[in-house]
Amino acid sequence: MKKALIAAAAGALVVAGCASMKEMDAKYDAEVVQWMKRDFHARGIATMDRLDQDEVQRVCTQYDNKPPEAMAKQIEAGEMKKIKLPSDGKYMGDWKAGQKIAQRGRGMTWRDKPGSTNGGSCYNCHQLSTAELSFGTIGPSLNQFGKKRGYTVANQKYVYEKIYDSKAFTACSNMPRLGLSGTLTEQQIKDVTAYLMDPNSPVNK
């Protein structure tokens, strides 16, 4: 009996501790948002709405990027519906233009003018070719991507969709939703797709 009471008391403490931690996390999250809204000021094209999370981002934050499986699948299905495929039915553009986009990190800062051309900053997270001197490792290496996967139309479509909205494939992916956010245009996404999938691209040499 005594052991049972001790076990029950210990269990209650654990539950109370978890609840307390959740309350503290919620409190700290709210404080962080307050600090950002206090210290971040709209300037140029960088407006305050950048601090607002959409529902998908909110869920990923809430679950520390590990939502329940059913919820993750629901997110992915919803994001897939948001992808707009190329109007001409072609997924590939000019790989040389795509290379420049992948290596360009500028865009969407308060110094940039509305409507200015953005870069993709792909090199910040991925290795793209063996010739690169510097690259990030947050994402997997994409070196020889097309050569390894195959130069099929299905794979071209996959790459286009992944660039457009990576959360359609992995609910809480760290990769930006470059098409959905308007960071890259349809043509730019086609060009980056070609950079990864064209057999003549340095990526596949």
pLDDT the model gives residue 82: 98
The mean predicted confidence, pLDDT, of the chain is: 89
Q: How far apart are CA 86 and CA 14, in angstroms?
A: 53
Q: What digits encode the pLDDT tens for the residues 124-167? A: 999 999 988 889 999 999 999 999 999 999 999 999 999 999 99
Q: What digits encode the pLDDT tens for the residues 98-133? A: 999 999 999 988 899 998 999 999 999 999 999 888
Alpha-carbon distance values, 61 to 36, 56, 150 (Å): 16, 9, 35
pLDDT the model gives residue 110: 87
Residues in the chain, total: 205
- On whether the CB atoms of residues 191 and 97 are closer than 8 A, the answer is yes
pTM of the model: 0.84
Q: What digits encode the pLDDT tens for the residues 14-66? A: 445 556 666 767 777 778 778 887 888 899 988 888 888 999 999 999 999 99
The tokens for 46 are 């960088």
The stretch 2-22 carries a mean pLDDT of 55
- On whether the CB atoms of residues 187 and 90 are closer than 8 A, the answer is no
Long-range pairs for 125-130 at CB < 8 Å and ≥24 separation? 125/174, 125/175, 128/102, 128/195, 128/196, 128/202, 128/203, 129/201, 129/202, 129/203, 129/205, 130/202, 130/205
